[in-house]
Amino acid sequence: MKRLAILGSTGSIGRSTLKICESYPDRFTVVTMAAGGNIDLAFEQSKRWKPKVMSVAAEADAAALRKKLEASGIGGIDVVHGTAGTVLVATHPDVDFVVSAIVGVAGLEATYEAVKAGKSIGLANKECMVAAGEIITAEARKQGKPLLPIDSEHNAVHQCMRGGRLDEVKNVWLTASGGPFLHTPAKDFAAISVRQALNHPTWKMGRRITIDSATLMNKGFEVIEACRLFDMPPSQVKVIVHPQSTIHSLVEFNDGSILAQLSVTDMRLPILYALTYPERVESDLKFDVLSMKKLDFYEPNLDKFPCLRLAYEAAEAGGAKSISLNAADEVAVAAFLDGQIGFTQIPEVIKAVLDETANTHPESIKKVLECDAHAREVARQVIERKEKSVTKVLSH
Ligand SMILES: NC(=O)c1ccc[n+]([C@@H]2O[C@H](COP(=O)([O-])OP(=O)(O)OC[C@H]3O[C@@H](n4cnc5c(N)ncnc54)[C@H](OP(=O)(O)O)[C@@H]3O)[C@@H](O)[C@H]2O)c1
């Protein structure tokens, strides 16, 4: 029986993980959970899974959840909050496997502390690999514990890598659906609305990753994540647009053989793989091979999707540049979702922040978080300046 901590239990990946736990009750038990602000769902999950610890983001929400559980006669759950709460969830002594699925750097400290505590990790939170991948992978190597990718592309690469040695790999090919704007002319990009950008053609995901998929920044993050997870330079991690999202990624070996992983577009499969690795277990997540009539591939258009270019540049530089890339993107995407900036301004904000970021290499999680906070502040200032200039234009 594997004893799990689920960081981000109320999110898309967290809920899919719980579905896997429902399907395999003899294999997995949920020991601890961490949610953000969705207290109603955190309550329902506490009732259903009776974790030893449930963490939520805010202190006031923790108090409200505690009260609600008490009123319903549900005891034995330690309700905690904030970063200290997520760290407690991730490092609980009764946990042996941590699913890291909080979105953004909010999940960074808990993920790092889990690695340091010697837990095995199922990694969905790509932003923490972008910001601190070098530090996290070094610690995992020290602990001799695996970082098993849940992100479908890296999960596919992990599966294909079982076909050869790392030093036999020539290139990794990450597939990208291309998002909802693959065929939209560049001249129409400025008018893209939040509703259009949230309408992903093949995957149902959280809001931030859906916007990141529309700008292709998500693929850029995945390039950095792949470099860190598989210890490869950015020049060997290629992106190829594949709108059907049938092939989740490919690994090209030095003899010319290319291995690909194909499956349904359902995150429960990579989660199940990570949870049961190195075993494979029966599942109902079957892919109908005969349905595969057509597989298209294109080179990504870096002029239309400058976020991908920025990500490659940050991948080459590493350190502070990749921390800023993620921080600026998080702030810019939130501003886009709030209607403060337009779609094409997302890469503009990120570029401005990267231009102001020194090429340094923070060596601790504390330093990473300081660098992240600074980049966020710069991003907010850039957005404010953009808003002011729009107001000025409109008032003339
Ligand atoms: N969804 C996918 O298919 C997919 C695929 C590959 C990788 N990923 C990666 O997996 C991660 C999660 O993605 P998602 O799509 O599941 O996102 P999501 O649906 O937005 O869920 C995010 C989770 O993080 C929690 N959270 C947010 N801020 C928090 C905080 N300050 N403290 C504690 N918890 C916090 C949320 O809690 P509340 O909802 O309670 O606020 C929620 O449980 C991301 O890094 C994403 O890039 C996702």
Query: Is the minimum distance from the CB of 8 to ligand 1 under 6 angstroms?
Result: yes
Query: Ligand 1 centroid to 12 CA: how many Å?
Result: 7
Residue type, 121: I
Query: Is the minimum distance from the CB of 12 to ligand 1 under 6 angstroms?
Result: yes
Query: Is the minimum distance from the CB of 310 to ligand 1 under 6 angstroms?
Result: no
Closest CA relative to residue 214, chosen from 307, 149, 296, 129: 307
Query: Is the minimum distance from the CB of 85 to ligand 1 under 6 angstroms?
Result: no
**Spatial CB neighbours of 100, under 8 Å, sequence gap ≥ 6:** 7, 8, 90, 107, 110, 111, 114, 121, 122, 123, 124, 125, 128
Our mutation pick for probing the ligand 1 site, out of 43, 103, 158, counting the most ligand atoms within 8 A of Cβ, is: 103
**In this model, does residue 393 exceed pLDDT 90?**
no
Instruction: Give the H/E segment covering residue 2.
Output: strand 2-7
When pLDDT is averaged across residues 31-42 and rounded to a whole number, the result is 98
Give the pLDDT of residue 389. 72
When pLDDT is averaged across residues 168-190 and rounded to a whole number, the result is 96
Give the pLDDT of residue 383. 97
Query: Is the minimum distance from the CB of 151 to ligand 1 under 6 angstroms?
Result: yes
For residue 86, the ligand 1 atom closest to its alpha carbon is 33
Query: Ligand 1 centroid to 103 CA: how many Å?
Result: 4
Query: Ligand 1 centroid to 82 CA: how many Å?
Result: 15
279 vs 146, more confident:
279
**Spatial CB neighbours of 289, under 8 Å, sequence gap ≥ 6:** none
Atom 36 of ligand 1, residue of closest alpha carbon: 36
Give the pLDDT of residue 390. 60
When pLDDT is averaged across residues 175-191 and rounded to a whole number, the result is 95
When pLDDT is averaged across residues 156-171 and rounded to a whole number, the result is 97
Query: Is the minimum distance from the CB of 90 to ligand 1 under 6 angstroms?
Result: no
Query: Is the minimum distance from the CB of 267 to ligand 1 under 6 angstroms?
Result: yes
Tell me how far apart the alpha carbons of residues 384 and 389 are, in angstroms, rounded to a whole number.
9
200 vs 250, more confident:
250
**Residue 39 DSSP SS3:** helix
Please tell me what DSSP assigns to residue 172.
Answer: E
Query: Is the minimum distance from the CB of 325 to ligand 1 under 6 angstroms?
Result: no
Which two three-digit tokens encode residue 55? 């963490």
Give the pLDDT of residue 391. 58
What band does 395 get if pLDDT is binned at 50, 70 and 90?
low
Query: Is the minimum distance from the CB of 36 to ligand 1 under 6 angstroms?
Result: yes
Our mutation pick for probing the ligand 1 site, out of 9, 102, 109, 263, counting the most ligand atoms within 8 A of Cβ, is: 102
Query: Is the minimum distance from the CB of 106 to ligand 1 under 6 angstroms?
Result: yes
Query: Is the minimum distance from the CB of 103 to ligand 1 under 6 angstroms?
Result: yes
Atom 45 of ligand 1, residue of closest alpha carbon: 125
The pLDDT > 90 percentage for the chain reads 94
**Spatial CB neighbours of 14, under 8 Å, sequence gap ≥ 6:** 6, 7, 8, 33, 35, 99, 101
Query: Is the minimum distance from the CB of 82 to ligand 1 under 6 angstroms?
Result: no
Domains and CATH numbers, the chain: 2-145 (3.40.50.720), 151-316 (no CATH), 318-396 (1.10.1740.10)
- Lowest-confidence pick of 41-50, 142-151, 383-392: 383-392
Query: Is the minimum distance from the CB of 210 to ligand 1 under 6 angstroms?
Result: no
Dihedral sign of CA atoms 289, 209, 152, 85 in order: negative
Q: Which tens digits make up the pLDDT trace of 197-227?
A: 999 877 778 899 999 999 999 999 999 999 9
For residue 128, the ligand 1 atom closest to its alpha carbon is 45
When pLDDT is averaged across residues 348-370 and rounded to a whole number, the result is 96
Query: Ligand 1 centroid to 10 CA: how many Å?
Result: 8
